[in-house]
Amino acid sequence: MIKPRRPSRWLWVTVIFIALAIGTGSGLYVGLKKGNREISAEQKETARNRDVAVKIAEAGVAVSEGNWLEARKLFEEVKQLEPENPDARASLPLIDRRLDEARGSLQVISDPPGATVLVEGVGEFVTPALIGRLPLGDHEVTIFKEGFESITKTVSVADDDLVVLNEIELSKTAGQLEVVSEPKAEFRLIKTVENDQQELVKVGRTPVLIEKLDPGEYEVLLAVEGWPEYSEKILVENNRNTSVSAVFAKGGLKVTSDPIGAEVWLLSPDSESEEAEKVGTTPLNLSGLPVGTHQIELRYGDWSPIRRTVEVADGVTEDLGFSWERALVIFESDPPGAAVFQGSRRLGNGREVTPFQAELPEGEYRFSAQHEKLGGVQQIARVDAEAGSNVVDFEFAYGSVSLTSEPAGVAVLSNGVPIGRTPLTLPVVPPGSYSYVLSKERYRDASVSGTVEEGGVLNFTASLTYDPAPVAARNFKNGIGQDLSWIGTLNGWVASHETTQEQYQRIAGNNPSYFKNPKHPVESVTWYQAVKFCEALTVLEQGLGNLPAGYRYRLPTDSEWSRFAGNQKLDAAISSLFDRKESTAPVGTLAPNQFGLYDVRGNVWEWVSDWYSQTIVNRVRQEGSTPVMEWVGTDRKVLRGGGWTRSSKFDLAIENRMGARPSSEDRYDVGFRVVLMPD
């Protein structure tokens, strides 16, 4: 490799020490001037200055040792403690230029060679590999080759020196296979190789565990004298356990039944014993049975069991079929939709409801039907196989309810739970007394009640009185489409969003915004224009009958704004704190606070009604922020919440206040939010 010529490390060290000297001299000069003016402030910062001095000294040592990454980290820490520190400001650009030019190299040698080397963010290479022009710092290096386990290492490149990884030994991947049988059998393990050729891998006797098998397709052959050879193909995978098992039985039974799903029980060969073992459900293949006489019993629900004696012969699987004489039963109910049970077993495939049909053996049964609204009833019926079909009908006691209203489409609530909208018919209702509340936004609720008789219909009709005024404790949407959220502690409503451009234009007839978009907040609006908007909106809503008595729209006070700001986080603020913004954003783009209010922080500053006064100064101090004393007594109104152009946590802090003249009209980061409060 031919490396480009770059300044030597010692030349860079010399340059940075000169920068340190210049920065320190500037700092001393600034410090002396500041000391003449603010000695007490300098004493308060003694601890911080001591930390700065220690880190600058450590950075100088790192520079002298050529440890540029450590030096940069230390100067960044100095800059965080003292953003205008001359040493950090002078040295960081030089270190960054050195880091941009500095490159190292890496050599990777593997056993076996030909492995792929993946350097994260750089590229892929093949061993033996010499990789040059690596940036300084930590690099994740992965070495892998088909058929071998991969290795991942973290390599630190600190300077121009060559980093060598020359002892990378790759381990072959493998799997394992377990072969068992009953009884023990001779086995052969064969592997499929290229062109469908086969090679014998291992022979032996079960049980056996074969370890360190190469991945691939295999065939296992098992043999027991007097039986056909058993064959099974398997796939062995890396770091996986595979197993093969086989049973060589002497005889068997293939049991089927009509209907299927009957339990199969093996009884003791001793005819005087009642011991039995459940071996499965039909259809069922029983293998490995001893030669001789066996008793088989099939059981299906509550039906009478069927028992049969069979002979099992050596090497023979006998077919056994069982069936019950049964009849078709039709289950019906009034009303339909009931689940039917025989004892604890649900009929109808465990899911059907009346009407449905099922086949049952002859006999007398006690059935029960369960309706989700009407409870349960029971009935005793006889099933006759010669009748062709049998009908079991369940009768429930019920009535119905019909509800209509003017206007239609109002919500119907029963015990506070919504059950539908008018016109509403409840076709299945148990007999008894009922009360319903009919409710619709901007209408007064209506209540109806009555008694449902068995087989009767209860009709309710109600007329709701229109009341356009919003109701306390409920959110609502006003006549220009603004969503307003009720804030109980303020006894009023606050607009969920900052006033949009389309809402402002509907009232004011113009749009002063710099960034024109109907869904964005209106900006470049003066305090006087915001107040005028609130007054015009109040007049409009009064004319529409949409205002509660004694309420009007206005700008919030500073105190009200602090209370409804809530716990809005900075990650839900349209600002340039994390990503630089080019303009405002549509209102409601990010998440709301706990009151359902959007963009309380960010997007645009919001006018409030207060002047920037001593009262505001006292609040700012009490809340832990820094006021601007020069604004007190001037003609400045308070702005809250920060804007899309702001990139510091101070500007975006909830407790921070901005001051601006009420006539300011070219501020494309200033808008407002309305509140509806008692006059």
pLDDT tens-digit map of 15-39: 555 555 545 544 444 444 444 444 5
Q: Which of 189-220 are b and which e, b meaning 16 or more Cβ less than 10 Å from the residue's Cβ?
A: bbbeeeeeeeeeebeeebeeebeebebeebbb
Tell me the three-class secondary structure of 425-473, residue by residue: EEEEECCEEEEEEEECCCECCEEEEEEECCCCEEEEEEECCECCCCCCC
Instruction: Pick from 14-18, 104-108, 183-187, 531-535 the range whose average pLDDT is largest.
Output: 531-535
Percent of the chain with pLDDT over 90: 43
pLDDT, residue 664, reads 92
What is the reported pLDDT for 276?
Answer: 83
pLDDT in tens, 493-544: 999 999 999 999 999 999 999 999 999 999 999 999 999 999 999 999 998 8
CATH code reported for the domain at 326-395:
2.60.40.10
The predicted model gives 77-84 an average pLDDT of 85
Q: What is the pLDDT of residues 166-176, one digit of tens each?
A: 778 887 777 78
Predicted confidence (pLDDT) at residue 635 exceeds the cutoff of 70:
yes
Which among 88, 152, 163 has a CA at the least distance from the CA of 120? 152
What residues contact residue 412 under an 8 Å CB cut-off, 6+ apart? 403, 418, 419, 420, 421, 422, 424, 436, 437, 438
| Residue 202 C-alpha from the chain's centroid | 51
Q: What pLDDT, on a 0 to 100 scale, did the predictor assign at position 166?
A: 75
Q: Band of the pLDDT at 384, cuts 50, 70, 90?
A: confident
Element (H, E) at 589: none
Token pair recorded at residue 57: 């000294």
Q: For the sheet containing 175-182, what is the strand order? A: 208-213, 175-182, 241-247
pLDDT band at 228 (very low <50, low <70, confident <90, very high): low
Confidence of residue 42 (pLDDT cuts 50, 70, 90): low
CATH architecture assigned to 399-463 = Sandwich (2.60)
Average pLDDT rounded to a whole number, residues 581-597: 96
Among 381-390, 394-403, 568-577, 642-651, which is the least confidently predicted range?
381-390
Which residues does 364 contact at the CB level (< 8 Å), separation at least 6? Answer: 380, 381, 382, 383
Residue ranges matching CATH 2.60.40.1120 in the chain: 399-463
Distances (CA, A) of 237 to 207, 358, 508: 21, 50, 74
- What pLDDT score does 270 carry? 55
Torsion (CA) 432, 438, 444, 449 in degrees, nearest 10: -10
User: What is the rounded average pLDDT of the residues 225-233?
Assistant: 76
Average pLDDT over residues 388-392: 84
pLDDT digits (tens, 9 = 90+) for 644-653: 999 999 999 9
How many CB atoms neighbour CB 390 within 10 A? 19
The per-residue pLDDT for 17 is: 55
**Confidence tier at 288 by pLDDT (50, 70, 90):** confident
Q: What is the mean pLDDT of the chain?
A: 85
pLDDT band at 656 (very low <50, low <70, confident <90, very high): very high
> How many Cα atoms are found within 13 Å in the side-chain-facing hemisphere of 442?
12
Query: What tokens appear for 64 in the block?
Result: 């002298």
Report the relative pairing of strands 476-477 and 483-487 from DSSP bridges.
antiparallel
CA 597, 598, 601, 604 dihedral sign is negative
2 burial type by CB count under 10 A (0-12 exposed, 13-18 middle, 19+ buried): exposed
Q: Would you state the pLDDT for residue 183?
A: 81
Q: Say if residue 277's pLDDT is above 90.
A: no
Amino acid at 173: T
Segment 253-277 mean pLDDT: 78
Reported as type and span, the H/E element at residue 584 is none
With b for 16 or more beta-carbon neighbours within 10 A and e for fewer, the 112-138 pattern comes to eeebbbbbeeeeebebebebeebebee
Q: Quickly state the pLDDT bin for 5 (edges 50, 70, 90).
A: very low
**Nearest Cα to 99, choosing from 120, 121, 75, 82?**
75
Cis amide linkage into residue 128, ω under 30° from 0? yes
Answer whether 110's CB lies under 8 Å from 125's CB: no
- Where are the extended beta strands (E) located within 478-614? 483-487, 492-495, 551-554, 605-611
Is the CATH code 2.60.40.10 the one for domain 103-169? yes
Per-residue pLDDT, 195? 66
Q: Return the structure tokens found at 555.
A: 């700008």
- Exposed / middle / buried, residue 187 (Cβ in 10 Å: 0-12, 13-18, 19+): buried
Q: Which CATH class is domain 476-678?
A: alpha beta
Cα separation of 31 and 121, whole Å? 45
pLDDT given for residue 443 in this prediction: 82
Residue 287 has pLDDT above 90, yes or no: no
pLDDT score for 537: 97
Q: Is the pLDDT of residue 657 over 90?
A: yes
Residue 258's pLDDT band, with cuts at 50, 70 and 90, is confident
Q: Who contacts 232 (Cβ-Cβ below 8 Å, separation ≥6)?
A: 219, 220, 244, 246
What HEC string does 171-213 produce?
CECCEEEEEEEECCCEEEEEEECHHHCEEEEEEEECCEEEEEE
CA–CA dist 478, 441 (Å, integer)? 13
pLDDT-based confidence at 69, cuts 50/70/90? confident
pLDDT class of 608 with cuts at 50, 70, 90: very high
Most confident of 88-92, 202-206, 237-241: 202-206
Residue 678 to residue 493: CA distance in whole angstroms: 10
Protein fold of 175-247: Immunoglobulin-like (2.60.40)
Give every CB contact of residue 20 below 8 A, 6+ residues apart in sequence. 56, 60, 63, 87, 90, 91
pLDDT at 230 over 60: yes
Please report the sign of the dihedral spanned by the C-alpha atoms of residue 555, residue 557, residue 560, residue 565: positive
**What is the mean pLDDT of the segment spanning 438-448?**
86
Report how far apart the first and last C-alpha atoms of the chain are (Å, whole number).
Answer: 82
Q: What residue ranges of the chain are covered by domains with CATH 2.60.40.10?
A: 103-169, 175-247, 251-323, 326-395
For the ranges 130-139, 319-328, 502-511, the maximum mean pLDDT occurs at 502-511
At 291, the pLDDT band (50, 70, 90 cuts) reads: low
Strand (E) or helix (H) holding 380: strand 375-383
Q: What is the mean pLDDT of residues 108-115?
A: 87
Provide the pLDDT confidence category of residue 44 given band limits of 50, 70 and 90.
low
Banded model confidence at residue 229, pLDDT cuts 50, 70, 90: confident
Predicted pLDDT at 551: 94
Give me the residue label for tokens 């109808």: 348
Look up the pTM and report it: 0.39
Has residue 67 got a pLDDT over 80? no
What span, in angstroms and rounded, lies between the C-alpha atoms of 590 and 644?
A: 13
Is the confidence at residue 395, as pLDDT, over 90?
yes
Token duo for residue 10: 């010692």
What per-residue confidence (pLDDT) applies to 408?
A: 92
Topology (CATH level 3) of domain 251-323 = Immunoglobulin-like (2.60.40)
Q: Residue 215: is its pLDDT beyond 90?
A: no
pLDDT of residue 495: 97
Give the separation between CA 94 and CA 501, rounded to whole angstroms: 48
What pLDDT, on the 0 to 100 scale, is given for residue 164?
A: 86
Q: β-strand 424-429 against 432-439: which pairing, if any?
A: unpaired
